[in-house]
Structure 1
Amino acid sequence: MKRKGTKTAVLFLCCALLLTACGGGQSTGEEGGTYDANAKATITWLNILHTASPPTDTVLNKIEEKTNSDIQFSWIPDASKEERINTALASDSLADIVTLTILDNSSVRNALKSGMFWEVGPYLDEFPNLAKISEDTRKSASIGGKLYGIPFQKDLARNGVTIRKDWLDKLGLEPPKTTDDLMAIAKAFTEQDPDGNGVNDTTGFVDRNDLIYGAFKTLGSYFGVPNNWKVSEDGKLTPEFETQEYVDTMDFMKKLFDNGYINKDFAVTAKTDQQQKFAQGKAGIYVGALFDSKNLFNMAKGIQDDMELEIVNNITSTGNESDRAIWAANNGIGGLLSFPRSEVENEAELKRILKFINDLHDEDAFALMTYGVEGVHYTVDDTKAATITDTDLWQQEVQPFASSRPKEYGYTIHDADPLKKKADQLIKENAKYAVLNPAYSLESETFTTQGSELQKIITDATYKYILGESSLEEFKAALENWRNSGGNRMIEEYEAAYKEVNS
């Protein structure tokens, strides 16, 4: 942990980060130095910014006080994170802590495997909060069986259906339990004038150009599609798009499209436009993150003031509870907080930084990074329900820290908003039915170098089938092209890696 001079709370990267060093630990050897948990730490952090501007120092000062540290952030805008991280890795211009969220990026993956970052697995159990990280999470966040950072722990399965309850009530319909129910509701919302304006101007679903975080993958879970890969008892891997359940999901989406039960432009609609259409009353079914319901409701204020929303997470294609399933996004891993050996020079420095990350897992640190300072940004009642009191100030001083929380669940403090509260409950319930990606932590050189190119073959073929631009035979021909273009090699590599890990 190289000591830095003047504190700079916020820096933007222009090209590569140039962080100068002065001084160091008590020993230059990797195992040297003396770990002092009570010593104030000066920590640099190369982090991702998901908001328009960096935060002011109000919350930062409280975090520093809580963790006994001086934190110097260098912020990378989310829109340019891949280019900036690649540049920083190539030039070894990093920081004590580096936020890595694009773990499937070849440069990131190769840097982790190369030994550029500390392997932290052996140290976790020395710290009370880090010791609680489950074995499943550690395994999913590992590469080649080694953990090169503290995983961002996110809820396993956050998706479900948000639906206009006021429209259901008007048409005498119940919330859906099956995919057939969803289809019937989509038809009614399209054809029976649920908003009562006498104009044929609504659809059932509103979706966006995203087969993963849009409707398709969640609907796929309801039909029993595996999460990316299906593993047989003998260790053979089958890609999800070669299953009948995937075809069933495409057929469901195709029926929605053919009958006009979904926005015709969904394949080219951005997420912001999708949410705006829902908020404007253009559609009544939104499939995505369950906590989006709160945002959708707030966006509709002044436009659809009579809007009532229902959120649903218990849907199957069969109606049988035993078939309930929901895909787990990245197995609940949001990335890694990693520690470059070039900056964190010995074990003592590493342990002091791990102590800092451990402290960020505490309830009061979570509250600071989620809600801000009590009495300034929010109030809290006796049930620990928090209400933001100054939204503009919260957005400026608190919101930028939200994506830096190393863990996002399991705390007593919670949102007082009823929709967010219910969404949190349903997301917690989803964890019991979460389907993991069995290949998430496995190594495939083909996936690392050709993954995006190969996925495009499948994405294009899926959209063409749903939009009626190709037949099932043509879809299967695209799958064969995928196999011949590197898919077969990817399968072989994953099967070998799976066998090695599970032998």
Structure 2
Amino acid sequence: MKFNKARLSKNRLYLLVYTLLVLSLLITACSASTPTGTASATDIKIMVDYTIAQPPAPDNLVHKEFEKRTNTKLTITWVAGGDYSDRVNVALAAGDMADLIKIPNVTTPLFRQMVKQGAFWDLTPYIGDYPNLMAMDAKIWNNTKIDGKSYGVPAGRPMDGGGFVSIRKDWLEKLGLQMPTDMDELYVVLKAFKDNAPDGKKDTVGYNMRDSRVIEEIFTGTAGRWKEIDGKLVNMTLEPEMRDALVYLNKLYKEGLIPEDFPVMKENQYWELATSGRAGVTSETPEALFRYTMDQWKKDPEVDWTPMLSLAPKAGGKQYVTQSTGYNGILAIPKTVSEQKMKAVLKFIDYGSGGEGLNLTLYGIEDVHYTEEDGLKMATDKAVADSVGTGAWGKMFSTTVLDLWQYAAGMPKEIYQRNMEIAEEKSKFSTGDPAIGLVSETEIKLGSDYSKKIADMKVQTIIGKTTLAEWDQYVESLKTDANYSKITEEINEEYSKRKALE
């Protein structure tokens, strides 16, 4: 047999080229894989708030576990809750945004402006691919839409069983009092707390005034300032029920049943009143209430902070309890993020919003951060050290499970079960804000001045620096103020549009 040298050379050349091509593909595949052979981790930069003493550190065990389970590399900028809104506005204005940024509210003016400019992904066509996100109540999604589209994933929360009035039930029993069911009965209780000093110290104020808006809402019968009446939204700031609330609070103030310096108090001062035995009524979610008062309870097991079911403005009146907005901000993705990476970010959010991911979000790693006892997850000291729970990791995911606000690490089973029973009962008649997510262009421009003046007038009326007659005059001036009236018109226009889309 004779060999064709020219043909042999050409075949060797083809073989060499083929070999180099295969090697190139192998090298590329290896470079795109981790040492274990899985796809390379997705880098995700996140900006989110936290509401505990210290945020998770980069070497946090839950942080590392999230990276491991979701094949991501997370760079998280944690911002203290009190500073978060300002920091978000700075980031938006500078265009210096993380791949995933939590927007405090869908009504944030600068965010809405940037949405109209196309700066954020419209997630509407994509969210159907993520089962945990789709499991969220449709009402929550609707409350966070802009012009019928979703430009962020709601950081979902339970709609019921959240923040409301809580009371020292052990004080009620000690003084032979019943659980109050209306505001007149609550007044009697507050006065008894002050006059009879159940803790033996003559320094009790009764109600610490934390989130005093709940008093206004009990009188007006709605969460927030808008109430649907005959198909229209009415601004309850201008209605007699708001005046009734101010009369009530002024009475509490004059009789020393609320702190004299409440207008300038800070968050820790409200809680100091509650945990030091100087106040027998506060407002908070059952979960946070237990966390804040756990040391008090450990020192004195008789301490019994109990969430109240509801309150009516007067005897025989309609019982009221707050329904929450259903979300704690929205998780938005800037258009600077590629579509492929945007989907990876959604997958990350979806993981932390259900199943084992939600378990990791709320409780951490089993046998490290908690152990199971009688069906409850009992936290270890490591859970506190690693900032496990709703105050940190829970801020960047949807956590709509009903017991989110009913259980805290270290809570006895009987307290948890009681909280759940009360929450389930509240869900039967809770009242929400009908104007969630609605905006008025006039309010965006002028609303802050009105809000500041109204808030100031309320405080001045409560402490007696402004008379009720002066409050009435101010309300009348708002009713004839063209710009303020326009806010109501525009909110109702938006409300009608939303109703038409439902």
TM-score relative to the length of structure 1:
0.82
Residue 62 of structure 1 and its aligned partner are, at CA, apart by 1.2
CA distance in 2, matches of 1:262, 1:54: 36
Verify: 1:262 aligned to 2:258, yes or no.
yes
Verify: 1:498 aligned to 2:495, yes or no.
yes
Match of 1:164 in 2: 168
CA distance in 2, matches of 1:220, 1:125: 36
Q: Is the 8 A contact 2:331 2:396 kept in 1?
A: no
2:154 to 146, 151, 155: 151
Residues 376, 302 of structure 1: CA spacing in aligned structure 2 closer, same or farther, 3 A cutoff?
closer
Q: Is the 8 A contact 1:227 1:437 kept in 2?
A: yes
Residue 391 of structure 1 and its aligned partner are, at CA, apart by 5.4
Match of 2:289 in 1: 293
Match of 1:336 in 2: 330
CA distance in 2, matches of 1:202, 1:122: 56
1:111 to 114, 122, 142: 114
Residue 156 of structure 1 and its aligned partner are, at CA, apart by 2.1
2:445 to 426, 430, 449: 449
Residue 306 of structure 1 and its aligned partner are, at CA, apart by 4.3
CA distance in 2, matches of 1:188, 1:317: 19
Residues 234, 337 of structure 1: CA spacing in aligned structure 2 closer, same or farther, 3 A cutoff?
closer
Q: Is the 8 A contact 1:127 1:358 kept in 2?
A: yes
Q: Is the 8 A contact 2:352 2:360 kept in 1?
A: no
Letter in 2 for 1:487: Y
Verify: 1:78 aligned to 2:81, yes or no.
yes
- Ranges in structure 1 where 5+ consecutive residues have no aligned partner: 1-36, 209-213
Q: Deviations over 1:354-373 (max 9, x none)?
A: 22211111232222222221
CA distance in 2, matches of 1:291, 1:393: 15
Verify: 1:309 aligned to 2:309, yes or no.
no
Match of 1:60 in 2: 63
Q: Deviations over 1:470-495 (max 9, x none)?
A: 22221122224445273112112112
Residues 155, 59 of structure 1: CA spacing in aligned structure 2 closer, same or farther, 3 A cutoff?
same
Stretch deviating more after TM superposition (486-495 or 408-417): 408-417
Q: Is the 8 A contact 1:225 1:243 kept in 2?
A: no
- Ranges in structure 2 where 5+ consecutive residues have no aligned partner: 1-37
- Helix, strand or coil at the partner of 2:209: coil
Residue 335 of structure 1 and its aligned partner are, at CA, apart by 0.8
Letter in 1 for 2:49: I
Q: Deviations over 1:338-392 (max 9, x none)?
A: 111112x22x433332222111112322222222211112111241x11112157
Verify: 1:93 aligned to 2:87, yes or no.
no
- Helix, strand or coil at the partner of 1:446: helix
CA distance in 2, matches of 1:138, 1:286: 31
Q: Give the number of equivalent residue pairs.
A: 454
Letter in 2 for 1:358: D
Match of 1:386 in 2: 377
CA distance in 2, matches of 1:462, 1:219: 10
Match of 1:184 in 2: 188
Verify: 1:473 aligned to 2:469, yes or no.
yes
Letter in 2 for 1:246: M
Stretch deviating more after TM superposition (440-449 or 429-438): 429-438
Residue 229 of structure 1 and its aligned partner are, at CA, apart by 0.8
Verify: 1:47 aligned to 2:48, yes or no.
yes
- Helix, strand or coil at the partner of 2:271: helix
Letter in 2 for 1:285: V
Residues 370, 397 of structure 1: CA spacing in aligned structure 2 closer, same or farther, 3 A cutoff?
closer
Letter in 1 for 2:497: E
Q: Is the 8 A contact 2:286 2:307 kept in 1?
A: yes
Residue 116 of structure 1 and its aligned partner are, at CA, apart by 0.8
Structure 1 residues 17-32: aligned runs within 5 Å:
none
Greater fraction helix: 2
CA distance in 1, matches of 2:315, 2:249: 19
CA distance in 2, matches of 1:498, 1:253: 32
Structure 1 residues 370-381: aligned runs within 5 Å:
370-381=362-373
Q: Is the 8 A contact 1:216 1:253 kept in 2?
A: no
CA distance in 2, matches of 1:118, 1:110: 14
Q: Is the 8 A contact 2:370 2:380 kept in 1?
A: yes
Letter in 2 for 1:339: I
- Helix, strand or coil at the partner of 1:432: coil
Residues 38, 153 of structure 1: CA spacing in aligned structure 2 closer, same or farther, 3 A cutoff?
farther
Residue 150 of structure 1 and its aligned partner are, at CA, apart by 0.5
Letter in 1 for 2:66: I
- Helix, strand or coil at the partner of 1:75: strand
- Helix, strand or coil at the partner of 1:151: strand
- Helix, strand or coil at the partner of 1:147: coil
Q: Is the 8 A contact 1:40 1:69 kept in 2?
A: yes
1:355 to 343, 347, 370: 347
Letter in 2 for 1:181: E
Letter in 1 for 2:74: I
